[in-house]
Amino acid sequence: MRIGKLLDRKGRFVTTVAPDATVAEVLALLAEHGIGALVVSADGRRVDGIVSERDVARRLHDTGAGILGGPVSDIMVADVLTASPDDEVESLMALMTTERIRHVPVVSGGALVGIVSIGDVVKHRVDTLEGDNRALFDYINAR
């Protein structure tokens, strides 16, 4: 299955945050939306970076609570791995596993069109396996 189809099923809405927003604002947005990462974008279309709960927790540990008033640009990952809607979900799963990342923005024509989490990939895989299992069960019982 292609990533675009996965986005059609889960939705394409992406919560973004401006690079000059504070880390405290990032935490508020993560909590408000019940998500684990935000795409950092000055215009809501271009991917300038990504910031996750892990990024905040690690920086808090390293430097203390002073980071909460600082800009997200100080803690974000600027070298973001992205995917295309035409990429296969299986290749995205391999990328996420190899690179040990949990969120991948989806970009088409230079514009942000969605985000896929490891949870989305796992749900897709479980749904596929359940469908295969049902098909095999039906085949065996039809004989």
Rounded to 10 degrees, the C-alpha dihedral 117/123/129/135 comes to -130
Q: Encode the chain (143 residues) as per-residue pLDDT tens digits.
A: 999 999 999 999 999 999 999 999 999 999 999 999 999 999 999 999 999 999 999 999 999 999 999 999 999 999 999 999 999 999 999 999 999 999 999 999 999 999 999 999 988 888 877 776 777 777 788 77
Nearest one of 101, 98, 100, 99 to 115, comparing CA atoms: 101
Does pTM top 0.85 for this prediction? yes
Q: What pLDDT does residue 133 have?
A: 72
β-pairing, 111-117 with 103-108? antiparallel
Q: What pLDDT does residue 135 have?
A: 74
Structural domains in the chain plus CATH codes: 3-141 (3.10.580.10)
HEC letters along the chain = CEHHHHHHHHCCCCCEECCCCEHHHHHHHHHHHCCCEEEECCCCCCCCEEEEHHHHHHHHHHHCHHHHHCEHHHCCECCCCCECCCCEHHHHHHHHHHHCCCEEEEEECCEEEEEEEHHHHHHHHHHHHHHHHHHHHHHHHCC
